[in-house]
Amino acid sequence: MVSVKEIPGAMGLEREQLLDLYYKMFLSRTVAQRERMLNRLGKGPFAITGEGQEATQVGATFALRPGHDWVLPYYRDIGVAITVGQTPRDLLLALLSKSEDISSGGRNMPSHFSEPKLRIVSGSAPVSTQLPHAVGVAFAAQLRGSDEVALVTTGDGGTSPGDTHEAMNFAGIHKCPVIFVVENNGYAISVRWSQQAAVPDVSVRAAGYGFPGVTVDGNDVLAVYGAAKEAVERARSGDGPTLIEAKTYRMVPHSSDDDDRRYRTREEVEAWGKKDPVVRFQKWLEEHDLVDRRKLDEIQQLAAEEIDEATEYAENAPKPAPESALERVYAD
Amino acid sequence: MAEKTMLEAVHDAMFEEMKRDERVIVMGEDVGEGGVFRATEGFVAEFGPNRCVDTPLAEAAIVGVAIGASLNGILPIAEIQFADFSHPAFDQLVSEAARLYYRSNGTWNCPITVRMPYGAGIHGGPYHSQSVEAFYAHVPGLKVVCVATPHDAKGLLKSAVRDPNPVIVLEHKKAYRLYRQELPDEDYTIPIGVAELKREGSDISLITYGMMMHHSLKAAETVHEQDGVSVEVIDLRSVSPWDKARVLESVKKTGKALVVYEDNFTGGFGAEVAATIAQDGFDYLDGPVTRLASPDVPIAPFAGELEDFILPNPEKITTAIRKLASY
Amino acid sequence: MTAVKEAPAALKLSDEQLLEMYYKMLLARTLSIRQRLLQRMGKGAITYSGEGHEAAQVGTAFALRPGTDWLYTYYRDIGVVLTIGMTPAEVLTGFFATRDDVNSGGRNMPSHFSHKRLRIVSQGAPVATQCPQAVGTAWASKLRGLDEVAAVYFGDGATSTGDWHEAMNFASVHKAPVIFVCEFNQYAISVHYKKQMAVENVALRAQGYGMPGITVDGNDVLAVYEAMTDAVERARGGGGPSFIEAKTYRLVPHSSDDDDRRYRTKDEVESWSARDPLVRFARRLNEMGKLDERREKEIAERVASEVDEATELGEGGARPDPESALRPVFVEEKGS
């Protein structure tokens, strides 16, 4: 066997994988920006995105086997959806609530991802209700003797509801193959972390449930990937859950209805802008001679084309038939 | 007299109550920065962070902590950001706040106010649109009001704050910025449990509340102009307790009753109103007690086409009035 | 488990206080046994009690100021409410569900304590709902600049609920002067704690909220008193909440409707009987030279006559008027 020289710090990923990782981050960013632009143009009544959290979302999800493992994302997780295989077209059809919207057929808000084929479980808006679901999905995989794992995300505000506690406790007792990812961006809409919890790192709570908790730099995609990879291996081999807290920042307002100038300074936002995870990973790739300008242009061009095609498709797609609102209240 | 939107009226009601009585505080998610609807704008500057308190994102705690604080000399106004998010606090509202006074044989009472923006029509999807009044009106020990005008919002919210019982104030969010209304400069309250005649009429009694009241007034205007049908529109304003006497009095006069509500048809609060009219007003009736409500699907789908299709609107109400008038 | 070394606070207790503690523990035990007996005789529909928990209950309550500090008890806390000042008759009128039952006038189940003057807040049955309420009461004391604290009691099962988590989190963020007391008796009805949590000591969770958590031998009344005194001082001094896990054992079934032979062995129950907190404290007092046979007998006689008297009062209490079931749903006039 020919020994392949490992790329230092790449967590065992090879060049093609690293470029894929970058592409997914860049594409996620592009989709988010397009969504907010379309909203401002009056083409969708609401947009909710998570620019700045791509390293966390893509890095954690990259450790999964898409379509085999389960994801239960929250409403900022464009990066999670993209990484397991949703397309910009899927996301924009949801933004514009078109009939073909695979997530909900125009019933749920945009960024409430769902796709059974990709094992993305539909989520709601009340925060952290997806955590017990994820534990249940993982518990079922365990009961069925399957090696599937579930990855569930929530924000820092999502650590406060009772559902989170009940989910983690259950997962700890039954050693469910689930990975809890807290995307700690420092704000629950306007409420700062110090008003949300009296501890600096929420990962410390994992010990109280009898499983490991780690805090990672959520703007470092490889660090997040590394932590997730370890957690997935643990889960898959029957060692139970892990809590990963990824410290990151939402560079945009909470949603298209929010004005974040009310609760945080421009200096703070700009300081985090300098830590932009997409730019940071790009630099890393360049420093390791894994991409050159031409390759980057190629990747970025690909994303741009994909997003333009998706926009055009979604804008021209038919709206749902009004009377379809009456369908599918109960399963047949 | 100053012209205010309903949102400003809600803001002013709380502001004035906090000025009047230093025991009054507001607590909830994001209220420190003014709240997602801006109902507590400027409160921290005026009253400090101890009286306008950002809570962790945990509704059971918001209501449970409010209950405990109310037993110890504080009058909390708890804000649930959207009524749809009150479900995690259902236990605290239904098993605790509502039952505390009765189960202690009248020794402990729970003077909390729980505000919840509710209702559809704003592209809120299935989790920022629900009507929850039927859940809570079912529970003895809770008072529930549904407000949709600036004047009513201010007067009823003040009554809620001053009430020694737990009161849920449901504010229809589509009505928040619907229009401005002149409000008295002086302090006033509106008693909980008293309906208001929003339009006098002689042919049909239309009983409604919330956003549907505005739609019903439009429909009443239309049938008056186009068909010469005279519709009396009663805004319940409170659903627990509710003004049965006022409703029966009207039905006695008109002989016909149409109940319009935004919630799902089955088991919505309008079903209680209709049953009461059928039972206690049978002798007055010249036509079937009729209900118009949303169909039994989750309220509300996000896409505008879907949402519009399910919600009652002036056109649907007009049709229902015409049908009932033909009896 | 934190061993109580020399128990400085406990050492400050006078002989009188030590004997008072013993008296309350015996009173709680005797009253519990009486209730179960009366229930078996068909004189009441149900009983809940906590024989075996007396050290945890009396030891914690003894560190509070009756009528000033607030209590949110749960349905096993006969020892807590007696220590704070409820009389055996007030407990038994709850059991008999009489008209004048101070707890609820026959509306709530027995052992769902409420006593406004003593600041014992009425409780529901859903587990841990009292936790956020206690935090609210304590937080109100803080907002009002008072030095009152709140103590909230619950079992090990309660630590699994969302309300418990939300309460712990709120209390620590807002530094509410509240003491969380977990009477860890290993069973949530029939569910063993190993199926309730994946940790040995639930006090470990306190660090996740940034508050001190201590595990204490809940069958050692002085150790419990010591831990509680620390926590109360901390709360009163503005240091915020604490969590106390008192490891103990329920020597009786969950309630008069439960048969604990279904889920635990006789050997296990017997091994814990050998650690009976009451016997243990009597022995310790005896060793300390504070309790001789004569004193022990005196206390036992006093307790017996009080419980007899309370039984008579309870049994003879007026029945509620049936139509009073319709009241009081709402405060009809401005109450508070």
pLDDT tens track for A307-321 = 999 999 999 999 999
Q: What is the pLDDT of residues C246-284, one digit of tens each?
A: 999 999 999 999 999 999 999 999 999 999 999 999 999
Chain C's closest residue to A193, CA to CA, is C173
Q: How confident is the model at residue C7 (pLDDT cuts 50, 70, 90)?
A: low
Contact C213, C204 (CB under 8 A): yes
Q: How confident is the model at residue A231 (pLDDT cuts 50, 70, 90)?
A: very high
What are the structure tokens assigned to C211, written together? 């508050």
Q: b/e per residue, C315-331, with b = 16+ CB within 10 A?
A: eebeebeeeeeeebebb
Phi, psi of A230 (to 5 degrees): -65, -45
Mean pLDDT of chain A: 96
User: How many Å apart are CA C323 and CA C336, to the nearest integer?
Assistant: 26
Alpha-helical regions (H) of chain C: 8-11, 15-40, 54-61, 78-84, 88-96, 130-143, 162-173, 221-236, 266-273, 277-287, 293-316
Q: Is the pLDDT of residue C336 over 60?
A: no
The domains located in chain C, with CATH, are 8-313 (3.40.50.970)
The tokens describing A212, both together, are 């490991």
Question: Cα(A138)–Cα(A145) distance, rounded to whole angstroms?
Answer: 11
C-alpha B240/C-alpha B261 separation (Å) is 15
Q: Are the Cβ atoms of B71 and C114 closer than 8 angstroms? A: no
* Inter-chain CB proximity C204 and A208 less than 8 Å: yes
Of B67, B88, B162, the CB nearest to C133: B67
Asked whether the beta carbons of A192 and C217 are under 8 A apart, the reply is no
pLDDT at B268: 98
**pLDDT mean across residues, chain C:** 95
Task: Verify whether the Cβ–Cβ distance A162 to B88 is below 8 Å.
Answer: yes
Question: Is B32 in contact with A97 (Cβ distance < 8 A)?
Answer: no
**Domains of chain A, start order:** 15-254+263-311 (3.40.50.970)
pLDDT above 50 for C335: no
| pLDDT score, position C2 | 47
A97 contact residues in B (CB cutoff 8 A):
302-304, 306
Strand (E) or helix (H) holding B317: helix B314-325
Residues of A in Cβ contact (< 8 Å) with C165:
162, 164-166
Q: Model confidence over A207-226: pLDDT tens digits?
A: 999 999 999 999 999 999 99
Q: Which of the pair, C336 or C132, is modelled with greater confidence?
A: C132
- Taking the C-alpha atoms of residue A80 and residue A74, their distance in angstroms, rounded to an integer, is 9
Nearest to A127 among B36, B57, B301 (CB): B57
Strand partners, B39: none
> In angstroms, rounded to a whole number, what is the distance separating the alpha carbons of residues C222 and B23?
39
CA separation, residue B216 to residues B72, B233, B235, B278, C234 (Å): 43, 7, 10, 21, 59
Query: Which residues does chain C have within 8 Å of residue B70's beta carbon, measured at their own beta carbons?
Result: 136, 336
Find which of B53, B123, B306 to mutate to test the A interface (most A CBs within 10 Å of its CB): B306
Say whether B87 is catalytic: no
Question: C-alpha distances in angstroms, C44 versus C20, C30, C95, C105?
Answer: 30, 17, 6, 14
Q: What percent of chain A has pLDDT over 90?
A: 97
Q: How close is the nearest chain C Cα to the Cα of A193, in Å?
A: 10
Inter-chain residue contact A126 with B85, CB threshold 8 Å: yes
How many cross-chain Cβ pairs, A to B, lie less than 8 Å apart? 120
Q: What is the three-class DSSP state of C321?
A: coil
Beta-carbon separation of A198 and C207 below 8 A: no
State which residue of chain A sits closest to B301, comparing Cα positions: A107
**One-letter amino acid for residue C300 of the chain:** A
pLDDT at C3: 44
Confidence of residue A332 (pLDDT cuts 50, 70, 90): confident
B 242-301: CB under 8 A from A: 295-298, 301
Contact assignment for B303 to A258 by CB distance below 8 Å: no
Closest Cα in chain B to A322: B306
The CA angle C192-C198-C199, to the nearest 5 degrees, is 95
Select which of C263, C264, C275, C280 is catalytic.
C263
Residues of chain B with pLDDT under 70: none
Give, in order, the Cα–Cα distances in Å from A259 to each of A262, A272, B6.
6, 17, 21
Name the minimum distance, in Å, from the CA of C168 to any CA of chain A: 10
Q: Do A257 and B303 touch (CB under 8 A)?
A: no
Token couple for A285: 């790739």
Record: contact C136-B71, CB cut-off 8 A = yes
Minimal-distance CA residue of chain B relative to A99: B303
Instruction: Answer yes or no: are the C-beta atoms of C197 and A172 closer than 8 Å.
Output: yes
Q: What is the DSSP secondary structure assignment for residue B85, as one 8-state letter?
A: G
In this predicted complex, what is the ipTM?
A: 0.93
Predicted pLDDT at C4: 46
Residues 6+ apart with CB under 8 A from C26: C278, C299, C300, C303
Cβ neighbour number for residue B15 with a 10 Å cutoff: 20
Q: Please tell me if residue A324 touches chain B, with a CB cutoff of 8 Å.
A: yes
Shortest distance, CA A263 to any CA of chain C (angstroms): 19
Q: How far is CA A119 from CA A23, B160, C321, in A?
A: 22, 47, 60
A5 — pLDDT class (breaks 50, 70, 90): confident
Residues A162, C202: C-beta atoms closer than 8 Å = no
Residue of A106, A162, A196 with shortest CB distance to B302: A106
**B111 touches C at CB < 8 Å:** yes
Taking contacts as CB-CB distances below 8 angstroms, the residues of chain B near C112 are: 103
A192 pairs with which residues across the strands?
A187
Question: How far off is chain C from B110, nearest CA to CA, in Å?
Answer: 9
Q: Do B69 and C328 touch (CB under 8 A)?
A: no
Q: Give, in order, the Cα–Cα distances in Å from C216 to each of A202, C1, C129, C220.
A: 26, 6, 24, 8
Write the residue in C197, C202, C205 that is nearest to A173 by C-beta: C197
At B124 the pLDDT is 93
Per-residue model confidence (pLDDT) at position B1: 81
Q: How confident is the model at residue C333 (pLDDT cuts 50, 70, 90)?
A: low
Per-residue pLDDT tens digits for C145-157:
999 999 999 999 9
From the list B34, B88, B304, which residue is nearest A126 (CB)?
B88
Active site residues of A: 250, 254, 263
Nearest CA in chain C to B95: C124
For B103, the closest of C122, C162, C333 (CB atoms) is C122
* CA pair distance B108, B96, nearest whole angstrom: 11
Q: Tell me the per-residue pLDDT of B79-125, one tens digit each, with 9 for 90 and over.
A: 999 999 999 999 999 999 999 999 999 999 999 999 999 999 999 99
Q: What is the mean pLDDT of residues A277-291?
A: 97
Residue in chain B closest to C170 (alpha carbons) equals B56
Alpha-carbon distance values, C169 to B62, B65, B89, C39 (Å): 11, 11, 16, 40
Nearest CB to C198; choose among A162, A163, A210: A210
In this prediction, residues C284-306 reach a mean pLDDT of: 96
pLDDT for C11 equals 76
Condensed to tens digits (0 to 9), the pLDDT of residues C13-30 reads 999 999 999 999 999 999
Residues 255 through 284 of chain A touching chain B, CB cutoff 8 Å: 257-258, 262-263
Residue ranges of domains in chain B, CATH in brackets: 2-183 (3.40.50.970), 196-325 (3.40.50.920)
Q: What angle do CA C57, B102, B147 make, to 5 degrees?
A: 120
% pLDDT > 90, chain C: 94
Find, in chain C, the residue whose alpha carbon is nearest to that of A160. Answer: C166
Residue of C53, C205, C234, C254 with catalytic role: C254
Contact (CB<8Å) B68/C327: no
Contacts of C173 in chain A (CB under 8 A): 194-198
Q: Which of the other chains make 3 or more beta carbon contacts under 8 angstroms with chain C?
A: A, B
Locate the chain B residue with the closest alpha carbon to A260: B33
H-helix or E-strand containing B310?
A: helix B304-310
User: Given B11, B128, B214, B215, which residue is catalytic?
Assistant: B128
Q: Do A108 and B33 touch (CB under 8 A)?
A: no
> What was the pLDDT predicted at A4?
60
**Which residues make Cβ contacts (< 8 Å) with residue B126, sequence separation at least 6?**
A107, A108, A124, A125, B84, B298, B299, B300, B301, B302
Residue B124 CB neighbour total at 10 angstroms = 25
Q: Which member of A161, A262, A324 has the closest CB to residue B34?
A: A262
Q: Is any Cβ of chain B less than 8 angstroms from the Cβ of A137? A: no
Predicted pLDDT at C332:
84
Inter-CA distances, B293 with B174, B211, B218, B316, C155, Å = 17, 12, 16, 10, 46
Is residue C149 within 8 Å of residue C235, measured between CB atoms? yes
What mean pLDDT is predicted for residues C64-80? 98
